[in-house]
Structure 1
């Protein structure tokens, strides 16, 4: 097998050097591709050829090829078995994370820490929230259709990206201008956390975005996935917020809040979410939250499946251009994967005076 691996490595290098087509978000395969070690290796070669332009796994070096292949085989079998199940509301695929074990993936692409003190404060916001959002909200809503959501990006510090997304959204709603802000500045300067140990979006939204403000992305060095010294040496116009609201821990409160503005939340990342391709994600997952995302809307499918629209930070090759749908109004009070346990949204002057359209948005049918 090792000899075959060496030969295969050369084949991969030749194939990828000749490849000129755009990278594929998911590589299709059949049961025949999983039938033997040789056919599986051929599938892996094809996957690497398709994914090399976008593949960012830190373990993708040729010296680690054999262990990458083992992880790929396990994920390919998992995807195949899962997609054969009946009555599932979503599908998995061989995306760019398919050669990483769940442990490796979680270590690299998650890292949100829940602020226990802020979670304890959340129920106190219930009365204020009810007063602000009295009355019914639309059955579906999508902030992408109202100019409040920037395109999905890729990170190794999800807490910073969910915080920045919340600020971008609230600022756009208040000002009518959607400005892409700097996650690297939040990573360097906010004190909310780091790339290695993770962090929390709560101190960013409650503190840093209010007191210091966040620079536009073009006014600060680009995201490096590394902790640097704070480099705000040149005065620039920053986006400042006027506060933040901790969302009460319920899906009903989360829905009302999402109609107010995009909400930073925490969820538990699992193997099925790692390899998510399309549809309404319905688990399996628990409530050991470890990953920060942004809820930018909600809706209902034609089959009457209620869902949240999440903006992830695993690149545009995950899900639908970096966005996904997660099942809404589940039995568990914490919501699916703990999505309703701890949400925070930003507040900016003009927010409360924003005029909501009378007609609900038409939710994208992806």
Structure 2
């Protein structure tokens, strides 16, 4: 009954605004491979999804008509409920402040910072990956910097296994598809002799039985030498760390507008001063139109999200808590 009332209210609003154009809904379904079989439930699912879509459509149009530094648009998330969207996140609460403080590390090499730095097109970054409807962003956030550092040292690229962490890491903060923490994932990898190659341990998007063999040398794609946090809430320290260590793991707070980002510098105030809920990787930084500083951020929702899988997030103001928990990892 509640969903029906929401649906009817949505149609009423859409009728007033003249936005209930079925052609846009049909085109959206075609582009995103959506198909709701009306014969199965008398059209209830189709009507619900359509109502959600047009609510989002109205929000997108309103946002893009305003004076904002970023734009949003439709994607595979446009007809999902809030509960359904939440499964694409996946960081648990960070370790205790005492542990965080004890591991704080500043880069050793104090060099002059370039105006921009961007590893996005580096040979050592694999194509954008997709976690699917599994809260495993923490595993992807842990693996990408390790892949990069291993590649930079060995001068050859090896794609590593997120599924190993999902299946095998049972640290107190890591729960497979129900969330985890990237730094404790690195701790786990040090105890099991490394990270498996993705070729030998491919991603499934669901938690299964652990199949990793620490004694099997052929299975190991990289090992963790050291890891630690960069000084919290210090953008300059993060820039220096990007130079020294390469891409950095971090956690952010995702709110509604983030799901629909397309271009520009993300600076939504709604994400500030809230608990973090998603792991991402910072791969660079820059300045937009000589006005606003930003981080180049790699997400785990596929190439068809955002700017081909990436988003620019405002730098220097701890936007969405992006500068609170940055961390690095070193391979060997």
* Same fold? TM cut 0.5: yes
Q: Secondary structure at the match of 1:219?
A: coil
Match of 1:104 among 84, 92, 104: 84
After superposition, residues 23-38 of structure 1 pair within 5 angstroms as 35-37=18-20
Asked whether 1:218 is paired with 2:199, we answer: yes
Q: Secondary structure at the match of 1:217?
A: coil
Structure 2 unmatched runs, 5+: 8-13, 36-40
Match of 1:153 among 125, 129, 135: 129
Shift, 1:95, TM fit: 1.0
Residues in 2 aligned to 1:196 and 1:206: alpha-carbon distance in whole angstroms = 18
Give the TM-score normalised by the residue count of structure 1: 0.76
Asked whether 1:257 is paired with 2:244, we answer: no
Deviation string 1:133-185 (CA, Å, 9 cap, x unpaired) is 22322221112344331111111211111111121122122222222111111
Q: CA RMSD in A?
A: 2.6
Residues in 2 aligned to 1:145 and 1:110: alpha-carbon distance in whole angstroms = 25
Kindly indicate whether the alpha-carbon contact (under 8 Å) linking 1:148 and 1:173 is maintained by their aligned counterparts in 2: yes
Match of 1:129 among 91, 100, 106: 106
Deviation string 1:31-70 (CA, Å, 9 cap, x unpaired) is 99x6143x1x3311110011108x9xxxxx9762222122
2:311 alignment partner in structure 1: 324
Q: Which runs of 4+ in 1 moved over 3 A?
A: 119-126
After superposition, residues 1-366 of structure 1 pair within 5 angstroms as 35-37=18-20, 39=21, 41-52=22-33, 64-86=45-67, 88-106=68-86, 108-117=87-96, 119-124=97-102, 129-130=106-107, 132-155=108-131, 156=134, 157-192=136-171, 193-209=174-190, 211-220=192-201, 222-232=202-212, 235=216, 236-238=218-220, 239-250=222-233, 251-259=235-243, 260-284=245-269, 285-286=271-272, 287-330=274-317, 335-349=318-332
Shift, 1:266, TM fit: 0.5
Residues in 2 aligned to 1:298 and 1:47: alpha-carbon distance in whole angstroms = 33
Residues in 2 aligned to 1:144 and 1:113: alpha-carbon distance in whole angstroms = 27
Kindly indicate whether the alpha-carbon contact (under 8 Å) linking 1:167 and 1:209 is maintained by their aligned counterparts in 2: no
Deviation string 1:308-342 (CA, Å, 9 cap, x unpaired) is 01110011111111111101012xxxx10000111
Change (3 A) 1:207 1:137: farther
Structure 1 unmatched runs, 5+: 6-30, 56-60, 350-366
Shift, 1:121, TM fit: 3.7
Aligned residues: 303
Kindly indicate whether the alpha-carbon contact (under 8 Å) linking 2:167 and 2:176 is maintained by their aligned counterparts in 1: no
